[in-house]
Amino acid sequence: MPTGTGIPASIPAMALASGDRFAGAPAVLDDGRTTSFEDLSEAMLSTARALIAAGVQPRDRVALWAPNSAAWITAALGVMATGA
């Protein structure tokens, strides 16, 4: 979903573009565990699918309450990818 300038139009679109562009490069380092850009974009989509299956719809409000972690990043990206 790039804009006319080639810049991704949303944060989820940026995560997907980064997954394609940087693939195996480290995106998140958390407690000795590394998540690649590709794995992060796949986790975002998996989380979004689960949220949609649970009934989350565009424009819904979703609260995230968790410590800063790789799991929080995945959850936040997944929520944004649903349009919520």
pLDDT tier for residue 5 given thresholds of 50, 70 and 90: confident
Tell the burial category of 21 from Cβ atoms under 10 Å away from its Cβ (0-12, 13-18, 19+): exposed
Classify residue 26: in a domain, yes or no.
yes
How many independent structural domains does the chain possess? 1
pTM tops 0.75: yes
Classify residue 6: in a domain, yes or no.
no
Q: Which domain holds residue 36?
A: 11-82
Classify residue 3: in a domain, yes or no.
no
Classify residue 4: in a domain, yes or no.
no
Axis-axis angle for helices 11-22, 70-82 (nearest 10): 120
Classify residue 20: in a domain, yes or no.
yes
Residue 3: per-residue pLDDT: 58
Question: Is the confidence at residue 2, as pLDDT, over 90?
Answer: no
Classify residue 2: in a domain, yes or no.
no
Instruction: List pLDDT tens digits, range 30-67.
Output: 999 999 999 999 999 999 999 999 999 999 999 999 89
Classify residue 69: in a domain, yes or no.
yes
- Length of the chain as a residue count: 84
Strand ranges in 1-84 using DSSP code E only, listed in sequence order: 26-30, 33-36
Classify residue 28: in a domain, yes or no.
yes
